[in-house]
Chains A and B, each alone.
Chain A
Amino acid sequence: MSPLEDIVTEIIARHDRGSEPARGALLPILHDLQAELGYISEDTIRLLASALNLTRAEVHGVVSFYHDFRTEKHALPVIKLCRAEACKARGVEALVDGAEQAAAGRATIETVYCLGLCSVGPNAMVGDQLHARLDASKLEQMIGAAA
Chain B
Amino acid sequence: MTAQSATVRISDDAVALALGADRLAAAFEQAGATVERVSSWGMHWFEPLVEIDGIGYGNATSADVAAILAGTAPDIGRISDHPFIARQQRLTFARAGKTRPLSLEDYQASGGWAGLSQARAIGPEATLEQVIASGLRGRGGAGFPTGIKWKTVANAPADRKYIVCNADEGDSGTFADRMVMEGDPYMLIEGMAIAAHAVGASKGYVYIRSEYPHAIAKMRAAAQACAHIIAPFEVEITVGAGAYVCGEETSLLNSLEGRRGEVRAKPPLPALKGLFGQPTVINNVLSLAAVPWILQHGGEAYAAYGMGRSRGTMPIQLAGNIKHGGLYETAFGVTLGELVNDIGGGTASGRPVRAVQVGGPLGAYIPVDQFHLPFDYEAFAAADALIGHAGVTVFDDSVDMARMARFALEFCAAESCGKCTPCRLGSVRGVEVMDEIIAGHDVTGNLALIEDLSETMKYGSLCALGGFTPYPVMSALTHFREDFVGEHAMEPAE
Determine if A89 and B320 form an interchain contact, defined as CB atoms under 8 angstroms apart: yes
Closest A residue by C-beta to B236: A17
Residues of A within 8 A of B223 (CB): none
Alpha-carbon gap, A57 to B327, bound state (A): 44
Determine if B407 and A123 form an interchain contact, defined as CB atoms under 8 angstroms apart: no
For chain B, the count of residues having a C-beta within 8 Å of the partner chain is 61
Determine if B319 and A113 form an interchain contact, defined as CB atoms under 8 angstroms apart: no
Residues of B within 8 A of A117 (CB): 14-15, 18, 175
Which candidate, A2-10, A25-33, A99-107, is the interface stretch facing chain B?
A25-33
Residues of A within 8 A of B258 (CB): 21, 23-27, 62
Within 8 A of A (CB), among B228-249: 238-244
Alpha-carbon gap, A117 to B172, bound state (A): 9
Residues of A within 8 A of B322 (CB): 119
Closest B residue by C-beta to A17: B236
Determine if A89 and B241 form an interchain contact, defined as CB atoms under 8 angstroms apart: no
Residues of A within 8 A of B257 (CB): 21, 23-24
Determine if B259 and A62 form an interchain contact, defined as CB atoms under 8 angstroms apart: yes
Nearest CB in chain A: distance from B240 CB, A: 7
Q: Beyond the given A89-B399, A116-B14, could you list 17 further A-B residue pairs with CB under 8 A, ordered by the A residue number? A: A27-B238, A27-B240, A31-B239, A67-B242, A80-B211, A84-B411, A85-B357, A85-B361, A86-B393, A87-B172, A88-B407, A115-B211, A119-B45, A119-B319, A119-B322, A120-B45, A120-B47
Residues of A at the B interface (CB closer than 8 Å) are 20-21, 23-28, 30-31, 61-62, 65-69, 80, 82, 84-90, 112-121, 123, 125, 128, 130-133
A-B contact pairs, 22 of them (CB 8 A): A21-B257, A23-B257, A23-B259, A24-B257, A27-B241, A62-B259, A65-B417, A68-B242, A84-B411, A87-B172, A112-B242, A114-B170, A117-B18, A118-B319, A118-B391, A119-B44, A119-B318, A119-B322, A123-B18, A125-B211, A128-B213, A130-B18
Residues of B at the A interface (CB closer than 8 Å) are 14-15, 17-19, 44-45, 47, 169-175, 178, 210-214, 238-244, 255-262, 276, 317-322, 325-326, 348, 357, 360-361, 391, 393-396, 399, 404, 407, 411, 414-415, 417
